[in-house]
Amino acid sequence: MVVQAGLVASLQAVRDAADAVDGGVDLPPGAVICGGFSDHHLHLLATAAARRSVDLSTARSLAEVGDALADAARRTPPGRWLRAWGLDESDLAEQRLPTVDELDEATAGRPLVLHHRTGHLQLRNRAAEAAGAPDPLPFDELAEAVAAVGAELLANGITAVTDATHTNDRTALELLDRFRLPVQVTAMVGAEHLHGLAFGTTVGSVMVGPAKIMPPHHGLDRVAERVAAAHRAGFPVAVHAVDIDELQAALDGGLGPGDRIEHLGLSLPEQLTELATRRIAVVTQPAFVTRRAAKYHRELSETEQGWLYRLRSALDAGIELRGSSDAPVVPARPLEQVAAAMTRTVGPSERIDVDSALGLVGAPLSVGAAADLVVLAEDPRMAARTDPARVADIAVLAVWRNGRLLVGDERRWPGRTQA
């Protein structure tokens, strides 16, 4: 492969040292070079904020939730807000959320805002109710957390992301631009905030993405009107659809080619056909199925399990499918998504092969594309032959963005690529 001026100039192996303008890359045995991964739906600021919060995502009982909060309260001066994140009652032995009394007891008078794992629910204790709105994170603290998120994305081989936050407006895009993340950022714009923005243009370094429509927030009966307004403004739309009713509202709302469905949590066979016929893309989260397997096995019938986060049947129908983490809901680890897509135990007939799974998170290298490159310690195709689950743990050895080395040792890998 030859890289010039940050672009892939040729996919031929370099044989003549004279061709190697900027030095060459010798891959270790078994390693493979491929295009950088994309995460097509995540929430950058929420992921950064989660890093500044008490992590309740691993709690398995209300006692563990209480202990984690009490521990954080002891380390927090009175009057300062406590933030917590990641709680999902379906993971708790008690199968319920904590009561306000339980939250009060754990937090020793500190105001607490607790974000549910889904991001769609907030709990507050009585001190928080009395204190009003939480203090925003100071800019420096947020910037530091965003930088850590950026480094983590790169370390997982991600070179491009789409922020799917439905509250995004011009100010939010300007804020994202200020952080100068090391990955290419496309940001969706909330359907009611399109004014003054144009799809496909940039706000600083941030690409303006589709209009985001959240039926639970905007109203199921108002989806059609939002879609029409976005299309008139020149935006494709991305509609959140976790259940069958939300998906039907999206379909009734007049989606077409270029538009996309976010999640496709549950879909009926006839809805899948409709998506394919109308050439609507789908952005799915394969790791939801593996990480929530116990809940889905428990709560869904076998038929419903086959309708859940479809992969095989969506690809067979001809639907363009992309993968994502929805971070902070699950970590932004593309190779975990690849492994999950191959190994899911809920609706196992929806498993896909390694090439299809890799296609969810990356595109083949092509001449003229940005030299966003990743070296993996092992070829996922080889690993998948013996143990597909192991693909999740393949190490990322080096990452270049636009031909510039951003992850990896400079002494081992050239600062500018030539492989």
Residue 14 CA from chain centroid, whole number = 35
- Please give the structure tokens belonging to residue 417: 């690529």
326 binds Zn ion (CB under 5 A): yes
Q: What does 168-232 look like in DSSP terms, one character per residue?
A: --HHHHHHHHHT--SSEEEEEEEGGG-TT--TT-EETTEEEEEEEE-HHHH-GGGHHHHHHHHHH
Of 1 and 283, the one with the shorter C-beta distance to Zn ion is: 283
**Interacting span for Zn ion (CB under 5 A) from 198-206, 318-326, 362-370, 373-381:** 318-326
Tell me the pairing of strands 184-190 and 206-213: parallel
Helix/strand/coil for 344: coil
User: Whole-number minimum distance, CB 164 to Zn ion, in Å?
Assistant: 5
**Interacting span for Zn ion (CB under 5 A) from 157-165, 230-238, 311-319, 396-404:** 157-165
**Interacting span for Zn ion (CB under 5 A) from 74-82, 296-304, 320-328, 398-406:** 320-328
**Interacting span for Zn ion (CB under 5 A) from 132-140, 209-217, 326-334, 399-407:** 326-334
> Within 13 A of 57's CA, how many CA atoms are on the CB side?
16
Q: How many angstroms separate the CA atoms of 289 and 357, rounded?
A: 14
**Interacting span for Zn ion (CB under 5 A) from 31-39, 161-169, 248-256, 345-353:** 161-169
- Helix and strand numbers (H, E) in the chain are 17, 19
User: What track of x and - describes contact with Zn ion for positions 31 through 60 (by CB under 5 A)?
Assistant: ------------------------------
Identify the residue whose tokens are 């202990």.
67
User: Whole-number minimum distance, CB 303 to Zn ion, in Å?
Assistant: 26
Contact 219, 200 (CB under 8 A): no
Of 164 and 338, the one with the shorter C-beta distance to Zn ion is: 164
Of 214 and 227, the one with the shorter C-beta distance to Zn ion is: 214
Of 149 and 376, the one with the shorter C-beta distance to Zn ion is: 149
**Interacting span for Zn ion (CB under 5 A) from 107-115, 128-136, 158-166, 227-235:** 158-166
- Give, in degrees to the nearest 5, the angle at Cα 354 between 238 and 265: 35
Query: Given phi > 0 = left and psi -120 to 50 = alpha, else beta, which region is 347?
Result: left
Contact 238, 251 (CB under 8 A): no
User: Whole-number minimum distance, CB 328 to Zn ion, in Å?
Assistant: 9
Of 214 and 398, the one with the shorter C-beta distance to Zn ion is: 214
Q: Which residue minimizes CB distance to Zn ion?
A: 326
Of 326 and 372, the one with the shorter C-beta distance to Zn ion is: 326
User: Whole-number minimum distance, CB 15 to Zn ion, in Å?
Assistant: 46
Is it true that the peptide bond before 328 is cis, omega within 30 degrees of 0? yes
Q: Give residue 12's identity as a one-letter amino acid code.
A: Q
User: Whole-number minimum distance, CB 340 to Zn ion, in Å?
Assistant: 17
Identify the residue whose tokens are 């196992």.
348
Neighbours of 113 (CB within 10 A): 18
- Please give the structure tokens belonging to residue 30: 């078994």
User: Whole-number minimum distance, CB 270 to Zn ion, in Å?
Assistant: 26
User: Whole-number minimum distance, CB 167 to Zn ion, in Å?
Assistant: 11
User: Whole-number minimum distance, CB 262 to Zn ion, in Å?
Assistant: 7
Of 156 and 165, the one with the shorter C-beta distance to Zn ion is: 165
Binding-site size, Zn ion (CB under 5 A): 2
Of 164 and 197, the one with the shorter C-beta distance to Zn ion is: 164
Of 266 and 394, the one with the shorter C-beta distance to Zn ion is: 266
Q: What are phi and psi of 263, to 5 degrees?
A: 95, -60
Closest Cα partner for 264 from 299, 227, 217, 315? 315
User: Whole-number minimum distance, CB 43 to Zn ion, in Å?
Assistant: 6
Residues that bind Zn ion (CB under 5 A): 164, 326
